[in-house]
Structure 1
């Protein structure tokens, strides 16, 4: 029987049916990604529209349940890559009511869950982010150890981006986050192989660390310097060369600097701003950053270190700028820790992209950064460090050919022997001492180790 058309009614009926079918499941769970950090895990749900959700936890066994309203999914949950120490697996469960997609995260241990939605930020659409943090057990009583006579210089090394945030993407598809982690690990290895120096990495794998937390990690380890390693990018493929950035309290005055500041804001949106959104201390931290007078000293030290590192970088790669540049980057805003941001080259430049993935070039960059650090700290050793002791010993040897040590408050023969890596007996013999007692201000000859 032929269809009779009445002023477009079939089209209206068809439109009504399409609208009804689309609103039946207004959202679609398109994918699930797991990013594992050493003490936390981030689970990201990719959705077609902004999610309407509820969540709750269950015990015995431990689970986190997410109910997504008016949502469908064709995700193969048994195929999700998972290297988390906290997540056992992710699965669907029976819906509590019609139209609800219930997703259960089976956990290996209890966690503190922070769940929040993020609006589309290229290249991602709507996301639901689940930050799972391991619940720390009650701290055990701290057994006080004897204070170390000499300490290491702590170098905090920050590999930019990570996890959901790939950073800049090169012409052939190389991710900045991968390249800079490889370079950062090489720098850390050289630092750890240097007596008197120790490296601390803000991230050691492919996961995102919020920008404020990168400074906090450095502060927790009492770092002497924070180096954030990146690969530059620009809107055209022409710019090339490495550069080093220090903090400016004003907006960057160069076009590339302004571009990088915008990229940093985009990076935070990509990685997820859950900790910043829910942190009641963020404004206090910003105020402290702007007002603390120690910032002036940190900025001066940062500039001096940057000058040293550029000297050595210029020997192994082209420099975009031969002097430190300034911009307002969040990762540089710690008031008490000298901080620099190293752009190892332009990943948007095809030839430099090839260099940045080359292991030999990565090693040359890492050695150059290490050499500059060692030279700076040999010239400006922190008090109480092995570098300071080496500097004092060199001065004594250069003046008289003999190492001399003046006993300071709290020092004993064992402390002094440990400092110079000789035995107590050797010091006693060199100074004709009949006992292990030394007095404040006493001059001691130190035998060769």
Structure 2
């Protein structure tokens, strides 16, 4: 092997070293560039996301003023990109009133957020995943976050107000008697107590509060609804059990949302959008339906475009004492050929097929894409609580899934003729029959078009409702007492 002269070697090394030093200095001076900024407002919380081609560091957080949050970010080069956040802010944002971007010394900038209420912020970094590069996330949680049960009541109160207004227009304002009669439904006592001017205020339960075990009062302080369920292992009586005249609550879970678009079809259709549209249609149908004289009420784990961690979706359903949990998705695969709808239930003994295992792994990765603060103690606690699923829950979930699969098969092709099982994290409520419905393959061009079609969405919502009604007709819900 030919050896170069020592002097030449030294000169070459010096040149290379100088070049490396120069490149390194320029890189340090340049800092990270902003790839995109996004703002996700919701009642639950507002998320601010700064995506960049290099990791950003938060040097200081000042939140001594409950109505102001200041965050100093190091490593930013394009302050102009960060200023796009100001243009994305809307007056309807429930948590943030204004955003200012204040340059500091080179490669540092202050993000100054004026707030509409006291908040509990979380600031954390997310490593590159899927289509995203480095992300710095600011989650602005209200200090008193909305309670799912209160949201369910507020939804009913709004409906009653709208009904009273319609009646007033028809009857010329003579609606005093009608107003009192309209509240006489299974949520009546609870609504009356919550809206009474003499009611003592009770503490609001945070979204991160662990769910109370089955069989106790899970309606919160001052609530009048409690769930008196039998032990999970007790079998249901399908044929001779008497119908129960009480409110049936169905939790609908539109998959993905916010930072997590879910699967994206060849035409650009996002899963998170179409499943939310289907959930809204199904909600309206459920709210207008009775089963054996018992009215039903739907509760959505998200009713807008924001991200909800998997464990929080389950917790919300438990908080409102849901009788069923239905997670709505749109399937996808690497090739456009697969098609058809599927229904999945939980399995604690391994997946029923390789496809079911693959699907569970894909859906369970939603937290990575959507962005969960792994340092949150509540997330760890909730994941532990989700490992208590019972054999009885899985048995009832399979019954529900079978009833829904039959009806869905009447409006479109089925990918599998039976209910599949796998370890879906979102189905692990130990006391609520839970299924995950893959409405169609959004990766299939023909089915993508169908998923965007309002007529197909309506047919699908009708089929899902028929499956729910069929399940409850054969498996009446257990009694739930109300104490005043």
Determine if the alignment matches structure 1 residue 140 to structure 2 residue 201: yes
Which of 17, 24, 33 is the equivalent residue of 2:29?
24
What's 2:397 paired with?
A: 302
Stretch moving more, 20-29 or 317-326: 20-29
Contact kept in structure 2, 1:311 and 1:372, CA below 8 Å: yes
What's 1:70 paired with?
A: 75
Separation of aligned partners in 1, 2:320 and 2:339: 34
What's 1:441 paired with?
A: none
Which of 106, 123, 126 is the equivalent residue of 2:131?
123
SS at match of 1:72: coil
Separation of aligned partners in 2, 1:224 and 1:334: 11
Correspondence list, 1:17-416, <5 A? 17-58=22-63, 62-73=67-78, 74-75=80-81, 76-77=83-84, 78-82=86-90, 83-95=92-104, 97-136=105-144, 140-141=201-202, 150-195=245-290, 196-274=295-373, 277-280=375-378, 282=380, 285-291=382-388, 295-384=390-479
Query: In the superposition, relative to structure 1, how do residues 21 and 410 fare at CA in structure 2: closer, same or farther (>3 Å)?
Result: closer
Contact kept in structure 1, 2:388 and 2:428, CA below 8 Å: no
Contact kept in structure 1, 2:286 and 2:465, CA below 8 Å: yes
Query: In the superposition, relative to structure 1, how do residues 59 and 286 fare at CA in structure 2: closer, same or farther (>3 Å)?
Result: closer
SS at match of 1:64: strand
Structure 1 residue 110: Cα displacement:
1.6
Contact kept in structure 2, 1:154 and 1:223, CA below 8 Å: yes
Structure 1 residue 84: Cα displacement:
2.0
Structure 1 residue 58: Cα displacement:
4.1
**What do residues 343-386 of structure 1 show as CA deviations (whole Å, max 9, x unaligned)?**
0011111111110000000000000000111121122211337x
Structure 1 residue 45: Cα displacement:
1.1
Q: Any stretches of 5+ residues in structure 1 without a counterpart?
A: 1-5, 386-408, 416-449
SS at match of 1:185: helix
SS at match of 1:337: coil
Report how many residues are paired: 379
**What do residues 413-435 of structure 1 show as CA deviations (whole Å, max 9, x unaligned)?**
xx9xxxxxxxxxxxxxxxxxxxx
Separation of aligned partners in 2, 1:162 and 1:296: 31
Separation of aligned partners in 1, 2:140 and 2:368: 18
Query: In the superposition, relative to structure 1, how do residues 94 and 246 fare at CA in structure 2: closer, same or farther (>3 Å)?
Result: same
What's 2:4 paired with?
A: none
Separation of aligned partners in 2, 1:72 and 1:119: 19
Separation of aligned partners in 1, 2:316 and 2:413: 31
Query: In the superposition, relative to structure 1, how do residues 151 and 356 fare at CA in structure 2: closer, same or farther (>3 Å)?
Result: same
Q: Which has the larger radius of gyration?
A: 1
Contact kept in structure 1, 2:403 and 2:467, CA below 8 Å: yes
Structure 1 residue 137: Cα displacement:
8.8
Query: In the superposition, relative to structure 1, how do residues 144 and 357 fare at CA in structure 2: closer, same or farther (>3 Å)?
Result: closer
Structure 1 residue 30: Cα displacement:
3.1
**What do residues 15-67 of structure 1 show as CA deviations (whole Å, max 9, x unaligned)?**
54333121124323333211122231111111221222134234668221121
